[in-house]
Amino acid sequence: MTMPHERTRAVVQTHDFLIELARDASLPERIRRDARFLLRHYPSRRDMVLAGRIEENAETLPIGALGPVFSSTFTQ
């Protein structure tokens, strides 16, 4: 089972990878354009930390019934 900090790390690393793809001039324009398109609505590192904090502090809210999905801390 994936732990919240592992899930958060995977999302952050995917964001970083999409940035690399978008900036890599050796790749076809279509790949770079698709990466930029995906990044438009992909959560940033700050978004992920905020989501983790909200979930970790949502003990009294029904959204926390299954436990947190994301974590406010992660290691790379």
Distance of alpha carbon 62 from alpha carbon 66, whole angstroms? 9
**25-38 per-residue burial string, b: 16 or more CB within 10 A, e: under 16:** eeeeeeebeebeee
Residue 67 banded pLDDT, cuts 50, 70, 90:
low
pLDDT (0 to 100) of residue 60: 63
pTM, two decimal places: 0.75
Position with higher pLDDT, 46 vs 24: 24
Question: What is the distance in angstroms between the CA of the first residue and the CA of the last residue of the chain?
Answer: 19
Q: Which residue has the tokens 């940035």?
A: 19
- Give the start-to-end residue ranges of the domains of the chain: 4-56
Q: 11: which residues sit within 8 A by CB, 6+ positions away?
A: 43, 48, 70
pLDDT single digits (tens) 29-57: 999 999 999 999 999 999 998 888 887 77
